[in-house]
Chains A and B, each alone.
Chain A
Amino acid sequence: MSAQDKRDTTELVQSSLQRRYAREKRFRFFGLAAITASLTFLAVLLITITLRGLPAFKQTFIQLDITLDAKTLGTDENPDTDALRKANYNGTIKNSLLALFPDVKKRADKKRLYKLVSNGAQYDLQRKVMADPSLIGETFTIWLPVGDDTNGYIQGNIDTTLPEKKRRFKDNQVQWVETLKENNQIERRFNYTFFERGDSREPEMAGIKGSLFGSMLTLTVTLLLSFPVAVATAIYLEEFAPKNRWTDIIEVNINNLAAVPSIVFGLLGLAIFINFFNLPRSAPIVGGLVLSLMTLPTIIISARAALKSVPPSIRDAALGVGASKLQVVFHHVLPLAMPGILTGTIIGMAQALGETAPLLMIGMVAFIVDVPTSLTDPATVLPVQIYQWADLPEKGFVEKTSAAIMVLLAFLIMMNAVAVYLRRKFERKW
C-alpha cells in the first residue's frame, strides 16, 4: 500500500464517518423523543388519575345527636341480637335530623333533609349499637357519613349558580349544610370505609376491600399454581427432554397458548372448572385456575430463555466435578436463571392482575358486598371492580373509580418491588 493509497483511505473513512455520526445523532434524537413522549403520557395519566381519585380518600361526616328509644327502633327494652339487627335505625337518624331542623314540615322537604345522611349510615349505627346494646334508651353524639350529593357539594362539585331545577342538590339542602358547617357539625375525615368495606350501591359506602381481597386470593392461587408448574416444565423441556418431534410439538403449542386471547381461557374455565368439576361460580379458586392457564405459557417461555442463557461452561464445571444432571440444574443453573424467571413471572402476574375478560366469563363480575375470606367465597377483582364502578352514573363512583385504579397500581408496584428484591438476592455475576 503506497502513501497515496493510505491518504485516500483516511479521507474516505473521514467522509463516511460524518455520515455515520449524523445517523447516530438522529437515532439518539428519535430515541429521546420517544422516551419523552411516553413519559409525558404516563405523567398525564397518573396525574389525572391521582387528581380525580384523591377526593375519594376523604369522606364527609355529619355530627348527630342520636336518641335511641325503643319505640322508634321498634324493639323492646332488652332486645336480642336478632331484634337488634332488624331494628329501625333509619328512624332514629331521621328523628335526630328533624330535631336539628324543627322548621322542616313538608314531606318533600323532609325527604331532602333525610338525604343529607347516607343511606348506609344506619349500618354504622347498627354496628355501634350491636357492639354495645346498653346504649338503648341513651342519647349520644355520633359522626355519620353524609350522602353522595352532600359529599359532592362539600367537595365543590355542585354548581350552585345553576337554577335549582337543574341540580340534584337543592337550595334548602345547601342552607342546612351551611348551618351545620357553621355549627362545626360537618367534618372531612380519612375515608376508612373505602378500605374496610366491600362494594355497595351507595358510593359513600362502597369500599375496595372486597375486590382487593378477591385480587389477592386469585393471584395467590395463580402464583402458587403457575410458578412451580411453569418452572418445572421449563426445566424439563430445557434440560431433560429429548429433542424430538413430540417436544417440538409441545414447544409450538406452548408458544401458541401464549398468543391465545384471554377470553378463550375464560370460556375454557367456565366449561371445565365450573360446568364439569362443579367448582363454585365467581370464586377466587376458579379465577386463579383460569389465570394460571393464561400465565403458564408466559412464565414457561421466559424461564426457558433464562435457563438457556446460563453459560454452558457452568454446566460443564458442575458436571466435571461429578454433579448429577439434577444437581447441576438445582445447584447452579436454576439459581443463575432465577432473575430471568422472576422477570417473566412478574410480567405474567401483572398481566393476570389486570385481566378482566376471562374473569367475566366465570362470574367474577357479580355485585358482591361481602369481603371474601376463602377461596370459594364469591368475589370480584380490582380491574372488574373498576370496570363496574366506571359504569355507574353517581358522581361518587367517578372518584371511586380513579381511587380503585390507584389501589390497583399500588398493588402492582408492590408486586414489582417484591420481584425486584428477590431478583437482587439471586443476581450474581459470572
Chain B
Amino acid sequence: MNEEVTPLPSLEQDQTSEQTIEEIVASLGETVGEPRVDDPKMSVSNVNVFYAEKQAIFGVDLDIANNEVISMIGPSGCGKSTLLRCLNRMNDTIPICKVTGELMLDGEDIYGKDTDPVLLRARVGMVFQKPNPFPKSIYENVAYGPRLHGLNRNKADLDDIVVNSLKKAGIYNEVKNRLDESGTSLSGGQQQRLCIARTIACSPEVILMDEPCSALDPIATAKIEELIDELRENYAIAIVTHSMQQAARVSQRTAYFHLGKLVEVGDTDTIFTNPSHELTENYITGRFG
C-alpha cells in the first residue's frame, strides 16, 4: 500500500516510539459523536480501567439504550472486552483489575456498595467469545440459571423456560430430541446458540456479547445475527465484533475504540458511510487494524 496516509499512532509501543500510551491517548482528543441517549438502560461515565499499573480504558462515556444493539469495534487490544466485562462486573474475578468512574444500570451504580454482583449478573447476561457450555446435559445447561435464581415454581415451569429459551435462541428444533445429551457434544455454532439460550433463560435485561460469532461459520453466524435482531425487541444488547459487516448488519449504534479510548460513537449508518474521525475511517476502510 503506497497511499499517502498520515502516520498513525502505533498500537504496540515499539522501542523507537518516544510516546507513551498516555500521550498517544491524550493526542486522540475528545470523543466524536454523541455517547448519550435518552433514557439509557446502562450508562458509563468517565470510566478508567487499570490492570495493575497498566491502564486499559481511558475516560470512556457511553450509554446503552433499551431495545437497541450497540456494537463495539476497534483494533485488537483496544479494551472492548475489558469495558464489556465491566458492565456485569466479570472483571471482579481478576484481582489486579481496578475500575474507576461511574457505571449505572437503570440509574443505580453497579459498583456501588448496595449492588450485589451476583444479582447484577443475573440482570446483565453475557455470551462469551468461545462457546462455553457446561459439561452437563443440554437441558441442565439452560435450566441452571433459572434454578439458581428460583425463577421457576415447579418442574413444569422449568421445562417451559428451557423450551422457550431454546426456541428463542433458534436451536430448539435441532436439539429437542436430545435434551439429555451433553452440551459439549454439539457443534460450535450450536454450542454458541445454547450459550445464548442459557443467558436468555435467566431473563436478563441486558445481554453482553463478546465476539459471539468469531468461532462460527457464515451460516451459524447468520443464524445468530438473526437471533440478535429478534432479541433486540426485548433486551438491550451490546456486542463486540471484529467484523465490520456484522456491526453494520446487526447494530443501530456503533462505538469505535482505539487504545482504550472511545474515539467515535454514533448511528451505525453514519459511522460506516461517513465517519468523522480519521482513525475510524482508516479502521473501517481496512487501512488499519
Contacts and interface: CB of A to CB of B under 8 A. Distances in A.
A316 B121 CA distance: 11
A312 to B, nearest CB: 8
A290 B217 CA distance: 58
A243 interface: yes
Contact of B88 (A311, A320, A324): A320
B182 interface: yes
B149 to A, nearest CB: 6
A319 B90 contact: yes
Contact of B202 (A243, A316, A322): A322
B135 A320 contact: no
Contacts of B118: 322-324
Contacts of B198: 317, 321
A313 B90 CA distance: 12
B125 A317 contact: no
Contacts of A324: 118
B145 interface: yes
Interface string A6-35: 000000000000000000000000000000
Interface stretch (B1-9, B126-134, B219-227, B278-286): B126-134
Contacts of B130: 313
Contact of B145 (A321, A332, A428): A321
A274 B201 CA distance: 58
Contact of A313 (B119, B132, B145, B182): B132
Contacts, number: 68
A428 B134 CA distance: 10
A327 B144 CA distance: 11
B95 interface: yes
Main DSSP-derived SS at the A contact region:
helix
Nearest to A427: B135
A228 interface: no
A137 interface: no
Contacts of A225: none
Contact of A316 (B132, B144, B148, B149): B132
Contacts of B95: 242-243
Contact of A314 (B88, B90, B125, B132): B132
Given A313-B128, A429-B182, A429-B184, A319 B135 contact: no
A318 B134 contact: yes
A430 interface: yes
Contacts of B259: none
Contacts of A314: 132, 134-135
A330 to B, nearest CB: 12
Interface in A294-341: 311, 313-324, 327, 331-332, 336
Contacts of A336: 135
Nearest to A312: B93
A317 B132 contact: yes
A243 B182 CA distance: 35
Contacts of A332: 134
A430 B93 CA distance: 21
A82 to B, nearest CB: 66
B199 interface: yes
Contacts of A242: 95
B143 to A, nearest CB: 11
A127 B84 CA distance: 81
B44 interface: no
Given A242-B95, A428-B182, A429-B182, A317 B145 contact: no
Given A318-B134, A323-B148, A430-B135, 11 more contacts: A242-B95, A314-B132, A316-B90, A316-B128, A317-B128, A317-B132, A322-B148, A332-B134, A336-B135, A428-B182, A430-B184
Interface of B: 88, 90, 93, 95, 118-119, 121-122, 125-128, 130, 132-136, 144-145, 148-149, 182, 184, 195, 198-199, 201-202
Interface of A: 242-243, 311, 313-324, 327, 331-332, 336, 428-430
20 contacts: A313-B128, A314-B132, A314-B135, A316-B90, A316-B132, A319-B90, A319-B121, A320-B88, A320-B90, A320-B121, A321-B144, A321-B145, A321-B148, A321-B199, A321-B201, A322-B118, A322-B145, A322-B202, A331-B144, A429-B135
* The 9 residue pairs across chains A and B that have the minimum distance between CB atoms: A322-B122, A321-B145, A313-B132, A428-B135, A320-B126, A430-B135, A322-B121, A317-B132, A324-B118
